[in-house]
Structure 1
């Protein structure tokens, strides 16, 4: 049994300016732990942290190396806002469940910020507002209804008129939604910091190790590897992103391609609020600033799951992103100093899938698909920590595999 393999990203993400030695050792014999985490990105790191916090022993493996998959391709806009607007999500899954989903996302941002502080991880975490601009998905009138729906359930969102949007962002727009309680960070420094903390607390990291088969028994799970070794655990967590084991269903999800770039530092030209900015458009444009004064901007998503086809479009897509940025903020230099492409997951509801695939009881899969993948990784860590210690989570049904 093998999983889908992809070249998860290409180009040079801004976050990989500094190389660091691998924290992983070679897997030379059979191993055992309470929890085996398959995947060395941000989802795996947060789940490993939660498992250690609960008192479990942890082994983590990655078929490449740690922090070498999709995580460096993230632009790390840490938002509670879900790709599917609250008004649309309410129509799809019901008002009560949509409210639970948005509130769980909002609480995950706060939880993650607290965990970063507790562990002392220096990852450039900065509180930020977000500004959600009108587009072909939601016009200004629809955005006003969306803001009202959010405020009605207690979320920190409000509708702002054109003058305030201009003052915050420098962008001419007919209004927009301003939301508080969001943040930005460096996803690679976050993930490396989480793995360093995990190792300091006894976690064992092995790479390159490819999981080839998963077999459950009544008391645990055995994972076979391409090197011939086996790892046994009470619980296994598949945090493999867009490279899924064949028994993990993809219904309701698809893999797309996305592109991003970072400009040269230009702190004197940035918008005053440094807010995270995105559009209610398809495909949407999203942007943020960095501590050294760059603009990170991305978008142009397309339903392409072939890395060669994705990479062939990179120059064209990065140029298009630059033109869109220039049209909105003419004072900016839009020449890319870094540019990259990666895969991006989309679900029918904008929600991730987190839980046990059909027929399994001790093997969890984390499919943090959607625009706020880091936030969804924090949700996954909370859900799986509680599942492993035998506590029911009141929102587990929102994210569970269907059927």
Structure 2
């Protein structure tokens, strides 16, 4: 098989309990020829298809599932520019210059996602939110001060909150926190469907279910063959398969991790001031946000294994542990789960994605957008691969290229 088959999520993600437009799909019953074939109809494939269709390319999207039913509905959609690996830690891994480039590109991607979504008129419960990064076992107060200095050097407006300020403004009992500004929360399912719909308005077609068995390429064309024998001939092919990694794509430095999340009942009166996104400088870290109807979405307790049965069995215990942490952080909230789910996601040693041309495969590209910035990195990928296909290039191509 060209891509791994995984059970990407289990349980009841909150987004599947909300209404969303339906995507018109086509059955793949004969050979197809197109300019660009996008393998994967989740958020990465949707952003890619919308960008390339706007540029005038004929686009076809293929998925072995129905559209937006893989990892995307399991996302908690804290759309932050802050990368999982602190800036001053990342500088030690890849050098200060490249670390700052990565953080700045992430910030640009969040801004672009906000601006493009608004311009396209996509309704996805998108709200601007500031972020609180709480002191934890990865960065204590002194570590947060170093991170503050690194971020300000790179040009990011960042505020340090003392224990007293954090308690007075947010009623949070931690030694310190960093506040950053103008991140986003959204409904990831409606976001992805919105971008797919825009691509389809320009003529893009979605074929599902369509499982790719093999891909062959040369300097002029790419041919993909499905498990049922249909051929897809295209000028360019993009693997946007999320955490089901194509076997042809280099995987060194990437791994699959298990995570758990839940959503509480609506409780607008109990929410914290400003309803900012919150996460911890810990490993693993707790992360939380609110929804437009006043729920709290909270997740964490990540573990570095990819056994789906082992992951699923732990859902009740992990839900209980996450609720206990939530109650400890905010004693006044109602810590009861209305939705709970678990899923697999990718991680890398640097917290950065791998995006670009697939080594040894002409005209083929891939995105491994991993970590807590999955949707942010999906937007980076849409820009970067757009530039590679059009021949205009991208200033950060080398930063994210497969090594």
TM-score class normalised by the smaller sequence: over 0.9
In 1, Cα distance between the equivalents of 2:63 and 2:71? 12
**Any residues of structure 2 matched to 1:65-214 within 5 Å, and which?**
65-214=66-215
In 2, Cα distance between the equivalents of 1:40 and 1:215? 21
The answer (yes or no) to whether the contact 2:214–2:224 under 8 Å persists in 1 is yes
TM-score by length of 1: 0.98
Distance apart, 1:175 and its partner CA: 1.3
Secondary structure of the structure 2 residue equivalent to 1:129: strand
TM-score by length of 2: 0.98
Q: Which residue of 1 aligns with 2:13?
A: 13
In 1, Cα distance between the equivalents of 2:362 and 2:137? 42
In 2, Cα distance between the equivalents of 1:165 and 1:54? 47
In 1, Cα distance between the equivalents of 2:30 and 2:69? 24
Secondary structure of the structure 2 residue equivalent to 1:145: helix
The runs of 4+ residues in structure 1 deviating greater than 6 Å are none
The answer (yes or no) to whether the contact 1:167–1:272 under 8 Å persists in 2 is no
* Match status 1:369 vs 2:370: yes
Q: Which residue of 1 aligns with 2:331?
A: 330
> Number of paired residues?
402
Secondary structure of the structure 1 residue equivalent to 2:142: helix
Secondary structure of the structure 1 residue equivalent to 2:35: strand
Distance apart, 1:21 and its partner CA: 3.7
Distance apart, 1:361 and its partner CA: 2.8
Distance apart, 1:358 and its partner CA: 1.7
Secondary structure of the structure 1 residue equivalent to 2:372: coil
In 2, Cα distance between the equivalents of 1:113 and 1:307? 34
The answer (yes or no) to whether the contact 1:23–1:66 under 8 Å persists in 2 is no
In 2, Cα distance between the equivalents of 1:335 and 1:268? 15
Q: Which residue of 2 aligns with 1:52?
A: 53
Secondary structure of the structure 1 residue equivalent to 2:321: helix
**Any residues of structure 2 matched to 1:250-269 within 5 Å, and which?**
250-269=251-270
| Alignment deviations for residues 320-342 of structure 1 (CA, whole Å, 9 cap, x no partner) | 00001011111111110000001
| Alignment deviations for residues 112-135 of structure 1 (CA, whole Å, 9 cap, x no partner) | 111101110001111110000011
Q: Which residue of 2 aligns with 1:222?
A: 223
In 1, Cα distance between the equivalents of 2:331 and 2:276? 18
In 1, Cα distance between the equivalents of 2:381 and 2:371? 13
Could you say what the CA RMSD is over the residues aligned between the two structures, in angstroms? 1.1
Secondary structure of the structure 1 residue equivalent to 2:65: coil
Q: Which residue of 1 aligns with 2:315?
A: 314
Which shows bigger deviation, 221-230 or 355-364? 355-364
Where does structure 1 lack aligned partners over 5 or more consecutive residues? none
Secondary structure of the structure 2 residue equivalent to 1:49: helix
Distance apart, 1:160 and its partner CA: 1.5
Where does structure 2 lack aligned partners over 5 or more consecutive residues? none
The answer (yes or no) to whether the contact 1:148–1:158 under 8 Å persists in 2 is no
In 2, Cα distance between the equivalents of 1:299 and 1:11? 15
Q: Which residue of 1 aligns with 2:343?
A: 342
Distance apart, 1:303 and its partner CA: 1.1
In 1, Cα distance between the equivalents of 2:190 and 2:237? 25
The answer (yes or no) to whether the contact 2:225–2:232 under 8 Å persists in 1 is yes
Which shows bigger deviation, 14-23 or 307-316? 14-23
Q: Which residue of 2 aligns with 1:293?
A: 294
